[in-house]
Structure 1
Amino acid sequence: MSAGVGFQSYFDPSVWVPVRVTVTNPEKTRFQGQLVYSVGQKYPYEGVLEWPVQVNPRRSTVLTIGVPGALLRHGGNLRLMEHGNTYASVHLLGISVEGSDVAGVVSDFPQAVQFLAGVSSANGTSELVAAYIRPQAIPSSVQLLQTLRYLYLDGAVAAELSSRQAEAIAAWVRSGGILILGGVQPNAGQLGVFSALSPVNGSIVLDGYGSQLASFVSSTPLHTALPLLYGSAKTNATVLVGTAKKALVAVRALDRGEVVYVGFNAASSALISWSGNALLWDTILHSLHSAILSAKPDLFGTNGALALMGAAEQFPQLHSPPLFIWEITFGLYTFLCGPVLYVILRRRRKNEWAWFVLPLISLVVAGSIYELGVIQRPNGILTQNVGLVDVVNAQLAQMIGMEALMSPQTRSYSVLTPKNTWSVALAEEATGYAEDGRVSFFAAHNLATFSHVRAWGGRFVYAVHEAHHFGQIDANLYAAGDTLAGNLTNDTNVDFSDAALIDRGQVIDLGSLKRGAIVQVDAMLNPKGNTRDVLSALASALQSASHGVGHALFNEVGTFIAAKSPFGDVLFVGWTHDEQTVFTPLAHTLPATPQWIVRQVLPVIPVVE
């Protein structure tokens, strides 16, 4: 058995990371077992992750599994097991690139990454990290592509990708990735789903010396002929090099991401040997204006697992009498059962009765308090789910959720999560590391189980789900000077108890918004308004953020929710108490009211006065 972590060993610790595993069966019988990754004592994660695996006699199989990047930071062993016996083991080791931009180059030749040598990251923090990726190693899940910021495809390798791989790449672009389509015979933008994504329609192949490229970066011309594929730019494309009818480099926005067309083979020797190659790519990357939010989900950092865990562990089902009732009870007990009762007995010359009456009253009070606790204690499994929904478009939304479970009795828990979901088990620090959590990944669903959890022991299932039927907020908004006007339609499948818009650091309260409802927007923004107190204004607009679990959730993730939106757009934030189809406990439960915050970037049409 062998395994490769991330993309050429590079991975982002804040997201789910692909691990490509090759299993060989040298025996004459079919192997049917599990791949098992032990989380170990890495608070708050616990238990094991497991994937079923089947290998025919004397054959090999390749699987792509997903492991949280936060766990891969600590390494760990992946074991191949059958009936409790370990047949093989491999240590998972990768290179963390937190804070750096990773560019994947999909090619059949490892040398193809050379064209990115010396190219700096567009965020200006470091040199771009280039990773060679074989076509068959592209994951078919948008979640497993999140380590990448850029992805380069040429026509030869684009033809080798499956439809599921191509669809995953398209969804990755829409969620904020930057796809670069290159090549000449053909260009990747002329194939399959990529032709619809491409900024141009490729047409004419000519041999030239790249004079337009040299002029674009003010560099010396190439010394060798370079095949060029000019295309006709689509109406929503921006041409960087060439003209609309003969575009050589063009770009178009696609939801939060961008697609770049380059009418040449980036890995050609003519370009790599050209002195202006690095400057060319620096200029192209810095010319992009990807509509990605300033804050992406940090799934395993401060905005992720720990934040949602802190909000979900508050169970509102645990009702307790108000503090003043306890104050009155103990006050009466202290003064009536002590000095007052003693004085009464003494006046009646029954001092010796105090030895019997006081203990008797203490027993009655203690028994009453215990009985009250028994009555208040729920008989069942308490559940609470909280989360975030990041809407990209009507067909794509990322749900980041936490399901908390607890019971006054020793119990076992089981929770199903649907297809296209990545799950991991968590436990409270106070309950220790019992290693009782197990997440099994199957084709149709995932199953999280916790065995024999002691009374009051909190357990959690943390999941990231790729939703395709959540819907979206349809916007028809116009901006003229400091005025924002228009309307919004709730085309999602949830009702919002509270909703608001954030425009240029100021909050517009929309009130409640039922599914299918239309709300009119007519707001005058203060050009000198205080944009530093966005969170306070947003908390005032979202009433669910003012108390209980909602208050805890907003305190934990408010900064992420109210992230600065791209210039010219506004940010919609809504609060829903509708149950999301992410967690299904397999037992009778006593659920609390769900708490989910929904976020979506909305376009605004500028009006020239």
Structure 2
Amino acid sequence: MGAKQVWRWLSVLVMLTIVVVGQLAPVAAQNTDVRLTVRPAFQGFFHPGTWLPVEVEVANEGVDRTAEIVVGPTGGPFFSTTLDLPGGSRKGVTVYVYIYNQASRIQAQLLVNGTEVATATAQVRSVGEGLLIGVVGTQQPRLPAQLENGSRITTVPLTLGDIPADGLGLSPFDALIFTDVAADELRSDQREAVRAWVLRGGTLVINGDSGLAHTLAILPDDVVPVTLDGFVSPLADPPLRPLRLIPRTFAVDQPFMVPLPKLPDGLAWGRLYGDGQSIVLGFDLATPELVNWSGWRALWQVLLPPSQFVPPNLVSIAKLYSTFLEENLASALMSLPAFDLPSLNLIVILLGCYVVVVGPVTYLVLRRFDRLALGWVVVPVVTLIFAVIAYSVGYTLRGGDVIISQLSLINTYTAPIVRERSFVGIFSPDRSTYRLRSTDDGVLTRPIGVQGPWSSEVLANGRYLQGISDTVVEGLEVPQWSLQAVATDRVITADVLEAQLVINGDEVQGEVVNRGVRTLEDVVVVYGDLISRLGSLAPGERRVSRLERPAYAYDGISLSYLIYGEQFDAMARMARPMPPDLQLKSRVLDALYGYGTAIRGKQPLVFGWYTTPETTIMPVDRRATRQQIALVHSMARLHLETGKAVTLDAGSFTGIFERITNTSSPCYSGNVLGAAPNVEPVVLRFMLPRDLIGLRPDSMTMNVRADMFWSGQIEVYDWVDGVWVLLPTEPVFQISSVEIPQPERVLGSHGVLRVRMQIRDQMQGVSCVYLDPTVQGRLP
């Protein structure tokens, strides 16, 4: 037999072996009696780091079953619920799936007694940059594919029936446009979902079509800033027949007039609500002539929010700012509590026994057997035995404990409707699998990384249960001496903390009331670099104090050092480490207000702490040591006399990046925002404190500072004409203060100042350029 024939027969034998082994290999059971269909909501569009509702439908043509539905992207995390399936039934269920990265497919599995009997997959589409806009209603107004600042727009048509029952299900959207909803209604849970989505940061735009009155009636009352009062005079360019909008009155966050370029005042009103806003229009966005109108693109630039994505050179993968911030907060869970030392009596007894045994007892025994030469062997053996005993005693006392580290944030801007976010870390002394339960049956739980905002993936083992009693996680595997974390995000009802500031010249006086049921510790009021530390505040207690600048304060001081600087300095003088609770508090405050792509400005803030969070998560069947702390934070109200002159000096504006590309880098210097612009322009957005929205400026100055001599141009946006206006700066400068002409046109009635800058000379070196606007004006 030739060599070629030998190789041919060997090849045939190998192929036959592969076929036989393949036939004998076990496969997942597929039951033809059960059919599974999976349909992602919103045509599968989502932002990375958001929840996507997934509709799963099961048809059972066989025997009665109780099944588990598990849904998630490839690699996880996986979310699960149970479903009773009588024979011959067809049932559907919504599973909320958290998608961390830019997944392209999700998979649903149907498990019976842990065995897979059916699977289905569906395609999803990640929107890794730009804005994702949902248009709810029968009309579909045309939106531009890209805004003036370069942000791309992805639009998804929706019906009222597509609104999920939980506000987290709307988290993929940056904005929702309600237009011509006809006679359709929202269920009560859908209304609450819309409210919760706005509170978490969504922008709700309500179109001024013929059905506007009905649309306003079906939406939550506190996100509707106006009432209707007939029509106003028609417009010729563009041809519109506007409605008259009458702003309503609220306890906080009064409605503001939205500046619409090239249109008369009063055609749009908005209101801030939590971290989001709602805007009502007095005209129809679907008017055909609007598309060809000269101010069409500028109109959408005003109505839609800035992109939430973090500048790409700050993160390893595309992330929303909320994800970036929460991962920074979750990293604070690594500040685990130190174990208490054993009692002094126990230590004295162990040491005493060791000294007695290793000394006189060893000597007497060895002399009795005439083996004193073996002392060099016996002493190390006795020492090792006592070391094992000491370790065993320590492990028995505390070393085998699981540690639960929980951090909760309660944002009470919109009390009594407030947002509670909790981050819970499970530290395991051994490699073990955990089952977790929650005090809230309806909470949605997801994994979160604890490696900080630069993490590129989220640890996704285990299954995250929905609607299954109080159990929220099963099969969470934690390696030995490691920590895994989960997160929750709820909207609850609570009256917790209120504060107001009265400003009289250079004097600022604060009044704080604890309206909760718990005593708050370390209560502090902050306005710029002025603070007042109030200590503990009992339920119902009211405290009035004056805010002052601490002696240790300096320009650009971090918020944590501004509040706790005296304690920090005392620890440093005594060469003592910072107490764990103080370290944890400082990390939380700096994560919230001192790190990221935004600056705090002179937001009037109030903080308080307590140790019994509203929602707790605990392991089942394992003893655990708890470290838990909750931060209550709110915006204090500013009281200023109407018509009285107001001066906002350096560092007064809150600033964010509206648009920044890979060719530029963000820069930070204390409470001042800047960038190192390159060929493409950088757009920054500066905002007044909430209670000063509507300020009528008499004069404005843009203070500019560069790290080195810089040649570039700085422009401000004219809200009246919808154009950029070049500021008269020197061709080359390092420090400059430029008077802004016609400040009433560039500081919008909604309290926003847009600034754009870029280099003139592409050959110059990279330099950070910091912008700090100041303003003088009066409240109407």
TM-score, with structure 1 as normaliser: 0.76
Structure 2: distance between partners of 1:466 and 1:273:
43
After TM superposition, give the deviation of residue 488 of structure 1 in Å.
0.4
Aligned to 2:735: none
Please show how residues 13-52 of structure 1 align to structure 2 within 5 Å: 13-14=48-49, 16-25=50-59, 27=61, 32-37=66-71, 48-52=78-82
Shift of 1:95: 1.1
Residues 467-518 of structure 1: per-residue CA shift (max 9 Å, x gap): 4233231223212333221310011333222122232244432322233222
Larger mean CA deviation between 436-445 and 135-144 belongs to 436-445
**Would the aligned equivalents of 2:258 and 2:270 in 1 still touch at CA under 8 Å?**
yes
The aligned counterpart of 1:218 is: none
Verify the 8 A CA contact 1:113 1:132 in the aligned structure 2: no
RMSD: 4.6
Query: Could you say if the C-alpha distance between residues 505 and 101 of structure 1 is closer, same or farther in structure 2, counting changes exceeding 3 Å?
Result: farther
Offset of residue 402 of structure 1: 0.6
Gapped runs of 5+ residues in structure 1? 212-220, 288-296
Residue 459 of structure 1: how far off its partner (Å): 5.9
**Do 1:200 and 1:247's aligned partners in 2 also have CA atoms closer than 8 Å?**
no
Contact 1:105 1:152 in 2 (8 A): yes
What is the distance in 1 between the residues matched to 2:180 and 2:420?
30
Superposition pairs of residues 583-602 of structure 1, within 5 angstroms: 583-587=617-621, 589-602=623-636
In the alignment, the residues of structure 2 paired with residue 353 and residue 56 of structure 1 have an alpha-carbon distance, to the nearest angstrom, of 78
- 1:292 corresponds to: none
Partners of 1:195 and 1:201 within 8 A in 2: no
Separation in 1 of the partners of 2:265 and 2:381? 98
Mapping 1:19-98, distance limit 5 Å: 19-25=53-59, 27=61, 32-37=66-71, 48-53=78-83, 62-70=92-100, 73=103, 75-83=105-113, 84-98=115-129
Question: Which of residues 546, 553, 559 is equivalent to 1:534?
Answer: 559
Residue-by-residue CA offset, 1:344-384 (whole Å, 9 max, x unaligned): x99xx975243564355335433443443344345665433
SS in structure 2 opposite 1:421?
coil
What amino acid maps onto 2:418 in structure 1? L
Structure 1 segment 68-467 matched on structure 2, within 5 A: 68-70=98-100, 73=103, 75-83=105-113, 84-98=115-129, 100-108=130-138, 112=140, 114-120=142-148, 124=149, 126-156=151-181, 159-187=184-212, 189-194=215-220, 197-205=223-231, 208=234, 210-211=235-236, 221-222=237-238, 226-235=240-249, 236-240=254-258, 247-285=266-304, 301-305=323-327, 307-308=329-330, 311=333, 314-317=336-339, 319=341, 352-354=373-375, 357-377=378-398, 381-392=402-413, 393-404=415-426, 406=428, 412-425=434-447, 437-442=462-467, 445-450=470-475, 456=480, 458=482, 460=484, 462-467=486-491
399 and 185 in structure 1: CA distance in 2 versus 1, 3 angstrom threshold: same
Distance 2:459 2:591 in 1: 34
Structure 1 residues 75-97: Cα deviation after superposition (integer angstroms, max 9, x where no partner): 55232333422312214532133
Which whole-Å deviations, capped at 9, do the CAs of 1:98-121 have from their partners, x for residues lacking one?
A: 5x3333211246xx152344434x
Q: Classify 1:102/1:426 alpha carbon distance in 2 versus 1 (closer, same or farther; 3 Å).
A: closer
Residues of 2 paired with 1:280 and 1:40: CA distance?
40
Give the Cα separation in 2 of the matches to 1:580 and 1:163.
Answer: 24
Aligned-residue offset at 1:29: 6.5
Cα separation, 2, equivalents of 1:512 and 1:196? 32
Which AA in structure 1 matches 2:193? A
* Distance in structure 1 (CA, Å) of the matches to 2:462 and 2:286: 47
Asked which structure has the greater CA Rg, the reply is: 2
**CA distance in structure 1 between the aligned counterparts of 2:450 and 2:506, rounded to whole angstroms:** 48
User: CA–CA distance in 2 between the matches of 1:412 and 1:127?
Assistant: 43
* Counterpart residue identity of residue 559, structure 2: V
- Cα distance in 1 for partners of 2:374, 2:83 equals 76
What is the rounded CA distance, in whole Å, between the counterparts of 1:62 and 1:96 in structure 2? 27
> Does the CA-based 8 Å contact 2:419-2:491 persist in structure 1?
yes
Residues 82/255 of structure 1: CA separation in 2 closer, same or farther (3 Å cut) = same
User: What aligned pairs does 1:568-583 form with structure 2 within 5 A after superposition?
Assistant: 569-583=603-617
- The CA distance in 2 between the partners of 1:485 and 1:85, in whole Å, is 65
Alignment check: 8 A CA contact 1:568 1:603 kept: no
Measured in 2, the distance between the counterparts of 1:388 and 1:151 equals 26
Letter in 1 for 2:247: A
CA contact (8 A) 1:155 1:185 kept: yes
1:555 is matched with which residue: 569, 587, 593? 587
Q: Distance in 2 between the 1:434 and 1:240 partners? A: 43
Structure 2 gaps, min length 5: 1-35, 307-318, 452-457, 572-576, 646-780
Deviations, residues 534-586 of structure 1 (Å, cap 9, x unaligned): 33223447899942265256436622255768766412222222243332544
- What residue is the counterpart of 1:11 in the other structure? 46
The residue type paired with residue 579 of structure 2 is H
Contact 2:52-2:172 within 8 A present in 1 as well: no
The 1:522–1:313 alpha-carbon spacing in structure 2 relative to 1, beyond 3 Å, is: closer
Aligned residue pairs total: 561
Q: What is the distance in 1 between the residues matched to 2:161 and 2:302?
A: 30
> What is the rounded CA distance, in whole Å, between the counterparts of 1:262 and 1:459 in structure 2?
49
CA distance in 2, matches of 1:160, 1:521: 49
Q: Structure 1 residues 318 and 68 mapped into 2: Cα distance closer, same or farther (>3 Å)?
A: farther
Deviation at 1:139, TM superposition (A): 2.0
2: CA distance, partners of 1:82 / 1:406:
31
539, 542, 547: which one pairs with 1:518? 542
Higher relative contact order, chain-length normalized (CA < 8 Å, sep 6+): 1
Post-superposition offset of 1:299: 9.0
Q: Which amino acid aligns with 1:177?
A: G
Q: Is the 8 A contact 2:268 2:280 kept in 1?
A: yes
Cα-to-partner distance string for 1:410-469 (whole Å, 9 max, x where unaligned): 67543235144221357999xxx9997332111764432347x68956564513131423
Measured in 1, the distance between the counterparts of 2:542 and 2:135 equals: 45
Does the C-alpha gap of structure 1 residues 125 and 496 become closer, same or farther in structure 2, counting only changes over 3 Å? Answer: farther
Residue 290 of structure 1 corresponds to none
Q: Is the 8 A contact 2:177 2:204 kept in 1?
A: yes
Provide the C-alpha distance between the structure 2 equivalents of 1:318 and 1:70, rounded to a whole number of angstroms: 38
Deviation at 1:191, TM superposition (A): 1.8
Does the 8 A contact of 1:383 with 1:404 survive in 2?
Answer: yes
The answer to whether residue 502 in structure 2 is matched with residue 478 in structure 1 is: yes
